Structure 1
Amino acid sequence: MLEVTANLPRGPVFLAGETLCCDVTFTNTSKENQSGYEILAWASVQIICQCTVCESRVQLPRENILSAEEASSTGCDTSFVPNKAHGKHFLKNIIEGERGLTVLCTKPTILFCDLKLAPGMSRTYQYEEVIPTDAPPSFRGQAVKYSYKVIVGTQRLEKATKMVRVPFRVLVLYGLNDISVYNETEEIAPSNPFLHNCRKETSVLDVALQVISTVTARKTPHSYNITNARGRVAKFLLFKQAYKLGEDIVGMFDFSVGTVPCVQYSVTLQSEEQISEECRRKPSQGTTVTSYVKHQEMCLHTVRSHVNIPIPLTATPGFITDIVCQRWRLHFEFVTSLTDIPGPESALSDTEERLWQGPSTLNVETMVWDLNIKVFPTNPIHASSVTLMKTSATIHLGD
């Protein structure tokens, strides 16, 4: 009996441009007192990204169709994934009924040929592949889905090919195509005459974290006056407009400047999934909105109120591809009164008790407001700590 295990030691979340490392272990699980070798003819590894669309809402343009020659030039002719028998159709996955379009397919890497394992013996191979910086991010929307897998294929002599699949997640930060622009040259880099000048190359992850920290740093607060046809409702202060996954969106309402009484407000973190015009099944179809976190509070006779909304680490940052675009926003709803509501009378002293009874009915109206924000990726190691994806997969090859 042979056992094949694929493991991602760093975790299941990576940044586009990083090098993915996968340890592939082949073990002969037969007892040592048993005779005979187990022989594997070959083993190969590659990365694929599949795009699954809702056919009732998305139609893919003809420009995305890959011909047989184009598919062969990507190295897919020796892979497990696409079927290019029909050059006039999209590349389709034929792995045991999996459905979807293969939008990324790395060249297969041969781990070995003709491997012999004695009972109880195991061999481990390390597979490394750079995730392209122009790859789409992992995304699970209502109309479009992008999913990544590491696929290990192996075959015993005169047996069918068996495969191990390890799913993983990809985050994309645009603008990392050339990290050399972030590396300081020797002419401008600070030097110390008492230390040996050893220049260290900057990794993609280091550059990405530096860029994310810069663009999401707190700068000048943004102030917004919230008004309706009858006057001013409140003033909203947002400390910044760019965030990374896992951060808290902190804001403050100032109702003391309002002339219209606000009874209740709610703030909801939402994402908008918009299909590109050439891929829409119906020209009139709009965007799909997904809500994540909602903060709701009663605010009648309130002077100030704070909002704290966390951005889930499992969410997908804003991105755009040829098929779909995702944006982020804060959705506000304000319930305002059409009539003035007298508050409690001022007490003569601070120790005096007061009791105020609100009206039993109110004549109100609701107003909504959307504020666009930007959401960027975070450290993939932090995102790995909350994911439910498994970092390894195992199959057994019997007789």
Structure 2
Amino acid sequence: MIEVSAHLIGGPVYFAGDRISCRVTFSNLRQTAGAGCPQNYIATKKSEDILGWASAQVVCVCTINPQKVLVVDSISNSNTSMTVNSTSLSPKAGERGLVIFSTKPKILVCDLMLPDDSNTDYLYQETLPSSLPPSFRGQAIKYSYKLKIGLQRVGAPVKLLNVPFRLMTWQLCGLPNCQDEQGIVVSNPFLKTSQCVNPEFEDPLETMQLLTSRRSPSVYKVTNGKGKVVNLCLFKSGYRLGEDIVGTLDFSASNVSCIQYSVSLQSQEVVPEEKRRKIGPHSKFADEIVTSYSKHHEFCIGFLQTHLSLPVPLHVTPSFDTDMVALKWKLHFEFVTAVTPLRWSGETNWEPPTSMDIETMVWDLPIVIYPTTPAHVSKALYGTSDATVVL
């Protein structure tokens, strides 16, 4: 009995453009009668086992929801499976959806003879292109990545070993060019400055660290038809996964009484108009898909100042934009205000009215979510990066 196990050395999360490394172990396990073999099975009957071949490749599968996205022949979902007597392996074998990317298969072993109670390790390495879309589990489109290992024992059909992993992209986040970045880094007058020729930075983590560490407070004056509701101050507009979105709200100079407010972190899945599914009798396009995550809610009647804090989850997908779908992020505010100003002057014995007329104001503020360190995401989301199959 041959057991094949795969272990992602760098963990289950990678950046586009990184090199993925996987250690594949082939083991010949000695079978016993207690492992489902006949009682008259002799363990020493066969001193070695033969693995015909094993190959590995990385694939990206795109799954489309036909109720929200137009499905044409070139991107239609498929369910391709291997036949029982198949001796070849296709990148789309066993996949539901379209394989939009696959690396060239690499042969790991051929005619591998394994004695009893022995094992052999092989290393698979592949550099991922920087133009790939990120892993994304949307309601309209899904992108999923896996390392697919095809195996065939002599005289047996082909089997698959799938090792899923998550891919994050920083090239699709709208990063500035090198000229913009030179103004951030403190220059040393005693060193010769080198001009950056490639607009893509060599170290994406350093780039995103610089972008998300810059604090340039922005103040937004939120008003309605009756006047100013609040002054909102955010320290920056770009945040990394796992970071907190912190801001302050100032009601001291407002002439509209705000009773309560709430703010939610929302993702907006946008499909190009020409690829949306039309719905309704008037052939209207399906609405943009909005998903809410963390939320902050507070009663602020009588407050002069307060603050908000929203964590960015580690499991979400950062901002990106491709030909099929774009993922945007925003802060969704809801302000409940009084129709007539409340007579509040800061007295400690002030009593609120038993009833009041209110109205709700909705406001959206776009932000950008950047990736973070793959090791940080790996420890928080995934418990293992291993997979095993028995031939």
Q: TM-score, normalised by structure 1?
A: 0.81
Corresponding letter in the other structure for 1:372: P
Contact 1:252 1:306 (C-alpha < 8 Å) held by counterparts = yes
> Which residue does the alignment assign to 2:145?
148
Q: Provide structure 1 residue ranges, at least 5 long, that are not aligned to the other structure.
A: 66-77, 83-93, 183-187, 192-203, 347-353
Tell me: CA distance 1:362–1:388, structure 2 relative to 1, closer, same or farther (3 Å): farther
- The two structures, once aligned, show a CA RMSD in angstroms of 2.5
Does residue 118 in structure 1 map to residue 112 in structure 2? no
Identity %: 42
Q: Displacement of 1:361 after TM fit?
A: 1.4
Tell me: CA distance 1:175–1:211, structure 2 relative to 1, closer, same or farther (3 Å): farther
Superposed, 1:1-399 pairs within 5 Å as 1-30=1-30, 34=44, 35-60=46-71, 79-82=89-92, 94-95=93-94, 98-174=95-171, 190=191, 207-282=203-278, 284-343=285-344, 346=347, 354-388=348-382, 390-397=384-391
Q: Displacement of 1:80 after TM fit?
A: 2.7
Contact 1:320 1:326 (C-alpha < 8 Å) held by counterparts = yes
Question: Which digits, 9 at most, give the CA deviation of each residue in 1:26-67, with x for residues without a partner?
Answer: 0001169624201001100011110101111112467769xx
Q: Displacement of 1:254 after TM fit?
A: 0.3
Q: Displacement of 1:387 after TM fit?
A: 1.2
Contact 2:12 2:382 (C-alpha < 8 Å) held by counterparts = no
Give distance in 1, aligned partners of 2:201 and 2:116.
41
Give distance in 2, aligned partners of 1:170 and 1:376.
13
SS in 1 for 2:256: coil
Give distance in 2, aligned partners of 1:360 and 1:227.
26
Corresponding letter in the other structure for 2:110: C
Contact 2:67 2:277 (C-alpha < 8 Å) held by counterparts = yes
Give distance in 1, aligned partners of 2:91 and 2:17.
22
SS in 1 for 2:209: helix
Question: Which digits, 9 at most, give the CA deviation of each residue in 1:305-359, with x for residues without a partner?
Answer: 111111011100011111111100000000000122223764xxxxxxx444322
Corresponding letter in the other structure for 1:53: I
Contact 1:60 1:323 (C-alpha < 8 Å) held by counterparts = no
Contact 1:28 1:122 (C-alpha < 8 Å) held by counterparts = yes
Give distance in 2, aligned partners of 1:373 and 1:175.
15
Corresponding letter in the other structure for 2:361: M
Q: Provide structure 2 residue ranges, at least 5 long, that are not aligned to the other structure.
A: 33-42, 77-87, 180-188, 193-199, 279-283
Question: Which digits, 9 at most, give the CA deviation of each residue in 1:276-304, with x for residues without a partner?
Answer: 12211215222100000110000011011
Contact 2:172 2:319 (C-alpha < 8 Å) held by counterparts = no
SS in 2 for 1:361: coil
Contact 1:330 1:371 (C-alpha < 8 Å) held by counterparts = yes
Contact 2:172 2:320 (C-alpha < 8 Å) held by counterparts = no
Question: Which digits, 9 at most, give the CA deviation of each residue in 1:345-395, with x for residues without a partner?
Answer: 64xxxxxxx444322212100001000001111111111111136301111
Contact 1:61 1:278 (C-alpha < 8 Å) held by counterparts = no
Tell me: CA distance 1:190–1:128, structure 2 relative to 1, closer, same or farther (3 Å): farther
> Which residue does the alignment assign to 1:75?
none
Corresponding letter in the other structure for 2:291: T
Q: Displacement of 1:214 after TM fit?
A: 1.7
Q: Displacement of 1:206 after TM fit?
A: 6.6
Corresponding letter in the other structure for 1:285: A
Q: TM-score, normalised by structure 2?
A: 0.83
Tell me: CA distance 1:146–1:174, structure 2 relative to 1, closer, same or farther (3 Å): same
